[in-house]
């Protein structure tokens, strides 16, 4: 992706629950891999969708100032080759064991995407890959005591705030309003049936749906 991030894109990505990060060389992290890693933070849903790469010094200063940062690392792994002489079933034996549906071979190498979200107000959250490959003590990483190929990320657009209100009538008609008061007024003007007021808000939480009757 080469287009610059914008508030409109940030809001769209937040609603889609995807995560994007621009690197200093102008490229962007793989969105599927980055998003999957971020969604592995099972204890916390990060309310920021857009990130940009910064230096270690900038990350340390930002954290000291109370701003959230993100640590990211792609870690390649490979299983050690098994010792020679280890018994394995041959092709005919595998067919007897597994039938015509051949068993998928076990992966011998791959890449894990480790993320660690640091927020002075909310706390520290990391995915399983980070906890396996890195120490829980992130202060040594931030102050430069540990030299590692970790990418430091900061919010690119922090909490862009654009809100609109949609009221869906019982007949399926959709009505857009600029603010909450107008949405409630429009809803009250409907016939005595049920409708849905949907509030899209891209500040610090995902969209919520409110059912009014």
pLDDT > 90 fraction of the chain, expressed in percent and rounded? 31
Together in a domain, 147 and 193:
no
What pLDDT, in 10s, does the model give residues 70-89?
A: 999 998 777 555 544 555 55
**In contact, 152 and 71? CB cutoff 8 Å:** yes
Average pLDDT over residues 3-18: 81
pLDDT confidence of 17, banded at 50, 70, 90?
confident
Residue 99 within any structural domain of the chain: no
In this prediction, residue 144 carries a pLDDT of 77
Residue 31 within any structural domain of the chain: yes
Q: How many residues does the chain have?
A: 213
Together in a domain, 37 and 119:
yes
Together in a domain, 185 and 126:
no
Residue 73 within any structural domain of the chain: yes
Residue 177 within any structural domain of the chain: yes
pLDDT confidence of 28, banded at 50, 70, 90?
very high
Q: Of 4-13, 127-136, 198-207, where does mean pLDDT reach its minimum?
A: 198-207
Query: How far is the C-alpha of 18 from the C-alpha of 160, rounded, in Å?
Result: 15
pLDDT at 151 over 90: yes
Together in a domain, 170 and 190:
yes
Together in a domain, 135 and 186:
no
Average pLDDT over residues 12-36: 91
Together in a domain, 124 and 177:
no
Residue 190 within any structural domain of the chain: yes
CA-closest candidate to residue 49, choices 4, 1, 22, 11: 11
Together in a domain, 43 and 137:
yes
Q: Which range marks the domain in which residue 169 is found? A: 163-212
Together in a domain, 68 and 133:
yes
What pLDDT, in 10s, does the model give residues 40-54?
A: 987 788 888 899 999
Together in a domain, 36 and 126:
yes
CA-closest candidate to residue 111, choices 48, 45, 32: 32
Average pLDDT over residues 178-186: 76
In this prediction, residue 5 carries a pLDDT of 84
Query: How far is the C-alpha of 42 from the C-alpha of 39, rounded, in Å?
Result: 7
Q: In this structure, what token pair is assigned to residue 65?
A: 């100032």
Number of domains observed in the structure of the chain = 2
């Amino acid at each position: 992706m080469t287009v610059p991030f914008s508030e409109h894109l940030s809001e769209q990505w937040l609603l889609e629950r995807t995560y994007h990060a621009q690197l200093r060389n102008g490229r962007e992290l793989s969105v599927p891999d980055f998003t999957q890693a971020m969604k592995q933070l099972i204890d916390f849903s990060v309310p920021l969708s857009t990130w940009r790469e910064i230096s270690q010094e900038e990350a340390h200063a930002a954290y000291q100032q109370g701003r959230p940062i993100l640590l990211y690392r792609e870690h390649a792994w490979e299983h050690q080759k098994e010792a020679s002489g280890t018994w394995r079933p041959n092709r005919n034996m595998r067919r007897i064991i597994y039938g015509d549906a051949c068993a998928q071979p076990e992966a011998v190498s791959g890449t894990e995407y480790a993320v660690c979200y640091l927020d002075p107000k909310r706390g520290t959250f990391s995915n399983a890959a980070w906890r396996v490959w890195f120490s829980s003590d992130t202060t040594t990483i931030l102050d430069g005591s540990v030299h590692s190929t970790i990418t430091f990320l900061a919010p690119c657009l922090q909490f862009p705030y654009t809100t609109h209100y949609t009221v869906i009538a019982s007949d399926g008609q959709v009505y857009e309003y600029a603010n909450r008061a107008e949405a409630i007024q429009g809803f009250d003007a409907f016939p005595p049936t049920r409708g849905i007021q949907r509030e899209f808000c891209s500040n610090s939480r995902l969209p919520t749906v409110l059912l009014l009757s």
